[in-house]
Amino acid sequence: MALLAALPAWSHNTVAASPELFFQAGKIRTLILSGRNNHDWRATTPFIRKALENTGRFDVRVTDEPAGLSPAAVAPYDLFILNYCGPRWGPEAERAIGEAVRSGKGLVVIHAASYPFGDMEVLARGHGRTGIREKPWKEYFEMTGAKWTEGPPRSGHGKRHVFEVRIIDRQHPITAGLAPAFDISDELYHRLILKDGVHILATAYSDPKTNGTGRDEPVLWTLRYGRGRVFHTILGHDLGAMYSTGFVTTLARGAEWAATGKVTLPAEIQPRPRKQNPVRVELVIGGHDFAPSLMSVFESWNDVETNVVWQPDAYKKGRMERADVIVQYDMAQTITEEAKANLRRHLEEGKGLVVLHHALASYQDWRWWWKEVTGALYVLEGTPGRPPSTFRHGVPLITHTVADHPITRGVPEMYIVDETYKNMWFSPGIQVLIRTADPSSDGPLVWIGPYRKARVAVIQLGHGPEAHRHPHFRKLVRNAILWAARRQP
């Protein structure tokens, strides 16, 4: 009781904090409603979120439990996106969304979200039958502009196939400037009941050859609900359908229009943004096996463009000239004199080098390389006075940052499971950035090489999936690449 009495008075008062403190300024505050769907919402919801965030226009959150929504929960948002097909949410949540859209908030309806809350049977995961039929939420049809019917004729779709989506209103803000048509591999819904007054933007022909209706079916449309704007797309069956320029472009532009009434986004938006002035990396492999997870390290960066090259062809002149940074993950022993000259020229021109893990055992007979450039060597064959180096798999490591440097920026002390090296040769000229005290290691894990004409970063970590998937290892590699390229991490 004494402890409770000692708590400051402010701890007993709750003050509503401004949403401005928790959202990115100037962006459309967006909430995706997901978590129940006969489609693979676990894959498509993250894709939708990332696609919108990549435009730079949206600050996106997700709820997998829409039934828990309330007026207070939805109040901060400008836009709601439905990637949902499941049971009803209950009076409070349904009222919260309905009132929010009526009051002027935006709404986007994606694919199977046209199905629920009507007369149809509730569907389970993987299109499973439940036998459950609920009392329809009549406002949902008024708000989204469409519903399914058991007919006759029954709503549905034919076989999934590639079809052409044709823009029939090219003056609307969502479709203005778009190409007249685009192709997509998706399900084409047919015989939906549309609310009077919906504005159709695009249609597609439902071909009888794919069990279609033989007529044009609506694909994209808009409507007003109270003061709110609604954009409805029947596209988006799965990731394969969503990974389409046409889907992403119309989704993002439709979402912006629903939230603001205007469209500022470009007329073509790629599923994955084009990289602007990226650092060009040549990732050198060969001479040692490796886990496929290595490739995932380089896939998600918008400021790095990676080309994978195999030894012994890695250091050909044309390839070297294109590269800003060489990242070595090979363990080749003998390279040609021409390759040595090209690699040396790359460094003398001030271009970057990042050496990862077992590449420390490369080029054993090229003394200049490991003495003057990388500053270290994993010794494969011992000689008198220099025993061979050793390794140990699966070591739980605790790392310690010992120098403030752009490469270590944003990388805390780590707990990481990786392979360690012992009895390596080190140059006194290296600058150690990260160390470990584990006895299976020599200590240095990340360092700057002694070569001064170029930026050389060495990361001893990186053996397998445990390291490759570690977010701080990925951060280290990206920082090292940007620093080696003389960019700001």
CA angle 27, 33, 36 (to 5 degrees): 155
Same CATH topology for 22-260 and 279-484: the answer is yes
In 3-state terms, what secondary structure has residue 320?
A: helix
Domain ranges for the chain: 22-260, 279-484
Q: Tokens 């007054």 belong to which residue?
A: 197
Phi first, then psi: give them for residue 419, nearest 5 degrees: -90, 140
Q: Compute the mean pLDDT over every residue in the chain, rounded to the nearest whole number.
A: 93
Q: Using an 8 Å Cβ cutoff, are 185 and 141 in contact? A: no
pLDDT at 1: 44
Give tens-digit pLDDT for 345-386.
Answer: 999 999 999 999 999 999 999 999 999 999 999 999 988 888
pLDDT at 4: 46
Tokens of 267: 């007329």
pLDDT at 75: 96
Q: Please name the amino acid found at residue 106.
A: G
The rounded radius of gyration (Å) of the Cα atoms in the chain is 29
pLDDT at 15: 52
Q: Using an 8 Å Cβ cutoff, are 463 and 457 in contact? A: no
pLDDT at 191: 97
- CATH fold for the domain made of 279-484: Rossmann fold (3.40.50)
Q: Rounded to whole angstroms, how far apart are CA atoms 346 and 353?
A: 9
Element (H, E) at 162: strand 161-167
Please name the residue ranges forming H helices in 323-410.
337-348, 367-368
Neighbours of 483 (CB within 10 A): 21
Q: How far is CA 290 from the centre of its chain?
A: 24
**Closest to 366 (Cα-Cα) out of 399, 344, 388, 384:** 344
In 3-state terms, what secondary structure has residue 164?
A: strand
Q: Rounded to whole angstroms, how far apart are CA atoms 355 and 353?
A: 7
Q: Using an 8 Å Cβ cutoff, are 347 and 375 in contact? A: no
Indicate the angle between helix axes 41-54 and 245-260, nearest 10 degrees: 70
**Closest to 458 (Cα-Cα) out of 433, 440, 425:** 433
DSSP-assigned beta bridge partners for residue 326: 282, 353
Q: Rounded to whole angstroms, how far apart are CA atoms 486 and 227?
A: 51
Q: Rounded to whole angstroms, how far apart are CA atoms 368 and 381?
A: 18
22-260 carries CATH number 3.40.50.880: yes
Q: Rounded to whole angstroms, how far apart are CA atoms 107 and 321?
A: 50
DSSP state of 370: I
Q: How far is CA 336 from the centre of its chain?
A: 40
Q: Please name the amino acid found at residue 91.
A: P
Q: Rounded to whole angstroms, how far apart are CA atoms 305 and 322?
A: 11
Q: How far is CA 285 from CA 16, 232, 253, 314, 319, in A?
A: 55, 47, 41, 8, 14
pLDDT at 14: 53
pLDDT along the chain (489 residues), means of 10: 48 61 93 92 95 96 96 97 95 97 98 92 82 91 95 94 97 97 97 96 97 97 98 96 96 98 96 86 94 93 92 85 94 92 95 98 95 97 88 97 97 97 97 98 98 97 97 98 95
Sequence-ordered list of residues with C-beta below 8 angstroms from that of 72, at least 6 positions apart, any chain? none
**Closest to 31 (Cα-Cα) out of 117, 128, 105:** 105
Longest dimension (CA), the chain: 90
DSSP string across 266-309: -S---SSPPPSSPEEEEEEE-SS---THHHHHTTS-TTEEEEEE
Our CA dihedral for 305, 309, 315, 318, rounded to 10 degrees, sits at -60
Phi first, then psi: give them for residue 87, nearest 5 degrees: -70, 170
**3-class SS letters over 234-254:** CCCCCHHHHCCHHHHHHHHHH
Strand bridging mode 58-63 / 28-33:
parallel
pTM higher than 0.75: yes
